[in-house]
Structure 1
Amino acid sequence: MGMIDLNQAQWHKSSYSGGDNNCVEVAVVDGQVAIRDSKCPERAPLVVSRADAQAFINGIQAGPWE
């Protein structure tokens, strides 16, 4: 993945977070998905393709989690 400009990124936090600062935030920029820890927004985010992000979500939803 190449470098993307995150200066204008619109970060989104899960509604399940309860408004605290203990969750994951995501932003879609130039067709890529940036993921960061809301406790440390100054750290470099993980950036993946939309397809990889969707595959991760699908895997989480498929479970099972033991």
Structure 2
Amino acid sequence: MPDPSPFDPAEVEWTVSSYSGGSGDCVRVGRLGDLILVGDTKCPDRLPLRCTTGGVRAWIRAVKDGTLGPAEGSS
């Protein structure tokens, strides 16, 4: 997977979730080449999570299907 660390998050066109209730504490999603970026509006300068489009599709499908198990290390 390409390393997007040299990019400036301020240059990405972000889509921000509207489900914050007006607090501004939202998830934001952007695109960098073939990668989907997921960031936190509270920490806009922090490098976002980067995923492939296939990985995002698989995650959404698993959420919809209810097939995600608990996170590693959680009880």
TM-score over 0.5 (shorter chain): yes
Larger radius of gyration: 2
Report the CA distance between 1:7 and its aligned residue.
4.8
Residue 32 of structure 1: which of 32, 35, 49 is its match?
35
Matched residue SS, 1:58: helix
Structure 1 alignment gaps of length 5 or more: none
How far, CA to CA, are the matches of 1:27 and 1:35 in structure 2?
7
RMSD (CA atoms): 2.1
Q: Which runs of 4+ in 1 moved over 4 A?
A: none
2:37–2:49 contact (8 Å) kept in structure 1: yes
Aligned amino acid, residue 39 of structure 1: K
Structure 2 alignment gaps of length 5 or more: 69-75
Aligned length: 65
Give the TM-score normalised by the residue count of structure 2: 0.68
How far, CA to CA, are the matches of 1:40 and 1:7 in structure 2?
12
